[in-house]
Amino acid sequence: MGMSVLGGGERMALAADVGGAGAGSRSPGNVPAPFAAPVAGRPANEPFGYCLNMSTVRGHKLPITAEVDLAADAGYTAIEPWMGKLDEYVKGGGSLKDLGKRIRDRGLTVESAIGFAEWIVDDDARRAKGLEQAKRDMDTLAQIGGKRIAAPPAGATDQTDLNLFRAAERYRALLELGVKMGVIPEVEVWGFSKSLSRLGETTFVAIESGHASACILPDVYHVYKGGSDFAGLGLLSGPAVQVLHVNDYPADPPRATITDAHRVYPGDGVAPLTAIYRMMHAAGFRGYLSLELFNPEYWKQDALTVAKTGLAKTRESVQKAFS
């Protein structure tokens, strides 16, 4: 049996209580005012930013320049590109300086990016190569104004005996590199993996890194897939999470057999998004919801339609939580 997903009445009651927006609302630990401050320009019922993770239109096989324009045309204010697409752009003769200008001119920021450097593996040689890959990725991102990069347990997904203290040390080394490069790595929960599949494991690595810039990249689908209780998200202070991968999932197939391809638009599944948003908001999260989907049915549709529908449904799910 997996752990419950906000199944307890007390947890849901807590989420409903902290969802009451306003200065008088209470949250576990009474969130410090600086963490809970609203972001200028955002309405009270939409306290988060909206970002497009390019996996959502991955099947459309657009060049990175078209992805940038797509996100802006659809109404997003941020993007989360994949390093592979950026590398293709550079290999094809593209200028990172020009791309960064294009991103800024379209009113977008690069809040995060998806990379797969093997920073966490036990093998010293592989890990050294992983850090070199991370350095190259960070350099690329810095040139287009990127702020962060995902740091999943790439290379250790089949490992069942990963020492989390060692993983924390390795994450600290990655963070130190990130600070030098100006791009912060976010240790990521991967629900399908045999290491860092749980929110608690990932949080442990971040905490035990002992680094002030440590942060976590949670994902609604991955938290569910890995078997963690979503209530854990309410324990993470605002600075600990700058980006949340947002999506939804159906009741069937069950957790054991569900895959990335089953992800659906926010609000079209059974994920307790209202409770998630309210708990994270109460804990001080004011970052970005990055829409990350891998649904092949959406890839058959017009890319702009998919991007616009994803933003509309994400906004509706947030408005529902804070109405």
pLDDT of res. 178: 98
pLDDT of res. 38: 79
Domains annotated on the chain, with CATH: 41-322 (3.20.20.150)
Instruction: Tell me the per-residue pLDDT of 188-208, one tens digit each, with 9 for 90 and over.
Output: 999 999 999 999 999 999 999
Rounded to the nearest angstrom, the gap between the alpha carbon of residue 150 and the centroid of all alpha carbons in its chain is 8
Q: How confident is the model at residue 18 (pLDDT cuts 50, 70, 90)?
A: very low
Q: How confident is the model at residue 21 (pLDDT cuts 50, 70, 90)?
A: very low
Q: Which of 11-15, 136-140, 233-237, 301-305 has the lowest mean pLDDT?
A: 11-15
The β-bridge relationship of strands 49-53 and 184-188 is unpaired
Nearest in space to 117 (alpha carbons), one of 85, 145, 152: 152
CA–CA separation, 117 vs 136, rounded Å? 10
Q: Is the pLDDT of residue 34 over 60?
A: no
The β-bridge relationship of strands 109-110 and 184-188 is unpaired
**Mean pLDDT over residues 69-81, rounded?**
98
pLDDT of res. 49: 98
Percent of the chain residues topping a pLDDT of 70: 89
**Mean pLDDT over residues 119-135, rounded?**
98
Instruction: Tell me the per-residue pLDDT of 147-165, one tens digit each, with 9 for 90 and over.
Output: 999 999 999 999 999 999 9
Q: Is the pLDDT of residue 321 over 70?
A: yes
Instruction: Tell me the per-residue pLDDT of 164-192, one tens digit each, with 9 for 90 and over.
Output: 999 999 999 999 999 999 999 999 999 99
Q: Is the pLDDT of residue 234 over 50?
A: yes
CA–CA separation, 123 vs 126, rounded Å? 5
pLDDT of res. 54: 98
